[in-house]
Amino acid sequence: MVEFNTPSGSPDIVFIFLDRTGKSSSDWSREIVKNLSDYVLVNIQNHGFNVIQGLDEDSLLQHASEKYSHAVVLSTGTEFINGDEFFHETEKLVYGNTDFFIMGHLADRDDGYYELHEQCYIIDLQKLKRLGFPKIGDFSYYDTHTQIAPIRSEDNVHDDYTPLWIKPGNTDKTYKHKWHGWNIIWVALKNNLPILVFPEEFRNNKKFYYPNYETSFIPASSYLYGKQSIASQTLFYPHNTEEMYEINFTGPIRQLIIQASGLQWVEYLTKYGYDENTVVRFVDYNLFAVETMMAIVKRWNGLNYDQFITAVVGGRAALVGKEARDWLATSVKLEDVKIDPALWNDIKSKVKFDFRHEDLVLNIGLPINSWLDNTPKTIIHLSHIFSYDPAAAFVPLKHRLYNENLLLKKIKEHNPNAHILMGRSCEGFTNQTMGSIDLKSLKTPTWHANGEWL
């Protein structure tokens, strides 16, 4: 068992991360899922939740009940998508008035007893404790047993095996198999404890890639490959999703290095100052984003940001029969994005702009002076480029951390006084945030416990 704690961790809700990589159907699926799980672990902590990680589901639940009221249990192969939506919905569920014991995906397996799908479920730990910690129930093929058959809804969430609800029955039935969760479902029904099915607001904000079943993993993983392709070629973030970094900086800014997204760079200029000697250099691995930012700087007049962005992006998207919204990543209404036209015109009249299409994460041979000048009063905003979810599944943390350390070393040698603003690739695995981080110093999840991080 390994515990990953964040300073802002929720006092009531914990995420239990089960390592099922040993069941992966191939080395290919196992490698992708391990890479993805490294990112998911960091992402959970960045949203303010502690993580207990390990292999034994029942012991982890019992341990978690000593401190927390509820647990979100997930298996490797699960990813939370659409920003913070799943996390918000979890808090609304736990802190709301909904009475439940378990919420998850239920499956009617016909000749096997009902399944609580292992990809993800939420459980009331204190109710589990009062029951004496009954086992969840492992999958067991050809394990004949007799149990009271639940009564289920006629309608399904999808297909014909996902009931909208189940409730206690009164007729015995002999089953051939036991599916994951068979015992806890039986205990819950026996004690009239509510078992709920994930509604859309939970279902739509997570993905499961079925790494145990190659025929399911192949189509499911297409989402990951598609996300990687879009993010590197055709995606633009018109609004920044992260807060500004607070730094001790005396302006005006002479050089600002930043990614080609949103208007947060304007906020940095406004907060720390700018003048005729200021250079803003947009450096991004996505050429589409660089070109879109170039259009903003050169052609936008500071008014009707939503209309301008939609027109610019839409013109490109139309080339391949897309709509602009398919190439825009935003969780806010763009009509709410405003800027003072006088400020915008002043910035454009004084600041010099430069645009570079470069991959700072993977191109370790890129000369540092090709995108960074040895200029005083420099801010280098790297954001979370070394922990970017579209790429994380395909670039191991071991690789990302190596390149991250190398880039920071080059920056310090070339411009030692630059202020570097970034999230580290291994946030959550260590408390260290500055300088070179040794892979061996990281807290190691069980899916890397075979010595590959040594």
pLDDT score, position 197 = 92
Claim to verify: residue 248 and residue 194 sit in the same structural domain: no
The percentage of the chain sitting over the pLDDT mark of 90, rounded to a whole number, equals 70
Distance, in Å, from the CA atom of 8 to the CA atom of 154, rounded to the nearest integer, reads 43
Q: Same domain for 197 and 170?
A: yes
The answer to whether residue 324 scores a pLDDT higher than 80 is no
pLDDT, position 331: 61
Q: What is the pLDDT of residue 321?
A: 59
Q: Check residue 185 and give its pLDDT.
A: 92
pLDDT band at 332 (very low <50, low <70, confident <90, very high): low
| 205 and 279 both lie in a single domain | no
pLDDT at residue number 323: 64
* Residue at which a domain ends, from 230, 255, 277: 230
438 assigned to some structural domain: no
pLDDT tens track for 206-256: 999 999 999 999 999 999 998 898 888 888 888 888 888 989 999 899 999
The pLDDT of residue 75 = 97
CA 22, distance to chain mean position in Å, is: 23
Does residue 415 sit within a domain? yes
pLDDT band at 450 (very low <50, low <70, confident <90, very high): confident
**140 pLDDT more than 70:** yes
Q: Give the residue from 168, 65, 208 showing the smallest Cα distance to 123.
A: 65
How sure is the predictor about 370, in pLDDT bands with cuts at 50, 70 and 90?
very high
Do residues 330 and 297 both lie within one domain?
Answer: yes
**Residue 183 phi, psi dihedral angles, 5° rounding:** -75, -45
Q: Report residue 315: phi and psi, to 5°.
A: -65, -40
pLDDT of 151 reads 80
Residue 445 lies in a domain: no
430 domain-assigned: no
Q: What value does the mean pLDDT take over residues 158-182?
A: 85
What digits encode the pLDDT tens for the residues 42-65?
999 999 999 999 999 999 999 999
The verdict on 119 and 252 lying in the same domain is: no
| Concatenated DSSP letters of 255-275 | EEEE-SSSSHHHHHHHHH---
Grade residue 111 by pLDDT with cuts at 50, 70 and 90. Answer: confident
Helix (H, G, I), strand (E, B) or coil at 254: coil
Please state, rounded to an integer, the average pLDDT across all residues of the chain: 91
Same structural domain, 258 and 337: yes
Which CATH number goes with the domain that contains 181?
A: 3.90.550
Domain termination residue (choose one: 171, 204, 230):
230
Choose from 77-86, 158-167, 330-339, 401-410 the range with maximum mean pLDDT. 401-410
213 plus 272 within the same structural domain: no
In the chain, how many domains are there? 2
pLDDT of residue 319: 60
Whether residue 358 sits in one domain with residue 408: yes
| Residue 118 maps to a domain | yes
Contacts of 47 (CB under 8 A, 6+ apart): 84, 87
163 pLDDT more than 80: yes
Three-state secondary structure of 104-168: EEEECCCCECCEEEEEEEEEEHHHHHHCCCCCCCCCECCCCEEEEEEEECCCECCCCCCECCEEE
371 part of a folded domain: yes
Question: Does the pLDDT at position 330 exceed 80?
Answer: no
Q: What is the pLDDT of residue 56?
A: 96
Report the predicted TM-score, pTM, of the whole model to 2 decimal places.
0.91
**Residue-wise pLDDT tens digits, 349-364:** 999 999 999 999 999 9
Calpha distance 257→241 (Å, rounded) = 18
Per the domain annotation, does 453 fall within a domain? Answer: no
Stretch 427-448: mean pLDDT: 92
Least confident of 126-135, 144-153, 179-188: 144-153
Q: Are residues 152 and 296 in the same domain?
A: no
Q: Which of 33-42, 108-117, 322-331, 349-358 has the lowest mean pLDDT?
A: 322-331
Which positions ≥6 away from 104 have C-beta within 8 Å?
Answer: 116, 117, 120, 121, 122, 181, 197, 198
Domain that holds residue 132: 2-230
Identify whether 219 is preceded by a cis peptide bond (ω within 30 of 0).
Answer: no
Token output for 262: 């949103």
Q: Is the pLDDT of residue 320 over 60?
A: no
* Residues 245-295: tens digit of each pLDDT: 989 999 899 999 999 999 999 999 999 999 999 999 999 999 999 999 999
